[in-house]
């Protein structure tokens, strides 16, 4: 199991605590320090059965200033998330 984690985010810290309390083995990926590649993010989306737009933090400054209101393909949204990892909703837990 793997958690994509941002230690500055309250919800991400809460998610990490739940995993720690579960006693299961897992890996922590601080995705702001270790950004995901396009391929890794696409794999996460596939495992979750979600579109890239489903995982975009639409209230982030980068989104509002650079992407809000633009017609974007799935690939373009993934590229934006890879270029600006803060746009990725968190926490994300995958197996």
Name residues whose C-beta falls within 8 Å of residue 95's C-beta, 6 or more positions apart in sequence. Answer: 1, 2, 47
| Domain CATH for 79 | 3.40.30.10
Q: How many domains does the chain have?
A: 1
Tell me, yes or no, if 9 is annotated catalytic: yes
Catalytic residue among 9, 32, 72, 79: 9
pTM for the full predicted model: 0.90
> Domain residues for 10?
2-94
pLDDT of residue 41: 98
pLDDT of residue 48: 97
CA–CA separation, 73 and 11 (whole Å)? 28
* Mean pLDDT, rounded, of the chain: 97
């Amino acid at each position: 199991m793997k958690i994509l984690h941002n230690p500055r985010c309250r919800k991400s810290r809460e998610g990490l605590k739940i995993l720690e309390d579960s006693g299961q083995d897992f890996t922590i990926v601080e995705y702001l320090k270790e950004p995901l590649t396009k391929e890794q993010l696409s794999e996460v989306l596939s495992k979750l059965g979600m579109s890239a737009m489903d995982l975009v933090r639409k209230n982030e400054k980068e989104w509002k200033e650079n992407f809000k209101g633009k017609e974007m393909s799935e690939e373009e949204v993934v590229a934006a998330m890879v270029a600006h990892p803060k746009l990725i909703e968190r926490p994300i837990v995958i197996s």
